[in-house]
Amino acid sequence: MDEEKLNISVRKFLKNVGIKSQRNIEEKIRDKFNSNDKTNQKKIKVKAKIFSEEIDLDETIEGEIEF
């Protein structure tokens, strides 16, 4: 196995996940904030799931986003 190739490939995948996820999260928060559904809420709970049957991977990452 080529460790450098693996590292680069995983980083490329995670970069795509990060960019797309960030855009989607920001869009949804803006939509909620700009709608009539205004609350005093300043934090949103989020979960991200990474899954692959091929390598028996099933991880969930939880956190909060403040705005």
What is the C-alpha separation between 17 and 5, in angstroms, rounded? Answer: 18
What is the C-alpha separation between 22 and 14, in angstroms, rounded? Answer: 12
pTM equals 0.80
What per-residue confidence (pLDDT) applies to 44? 93
pLDDT in tens, the chain (67 residues): 999 999 999 999 999 999 999 999 999 999 988 887 666 778 999 999 999 999 999 999 999 999 8
Domain boundaries, the chain: 3-66
Sequential DSSP letters for 19-33: HHHHHHHHHHHHHHH
Reading the block at residue 5, the tokens are: 């190739």
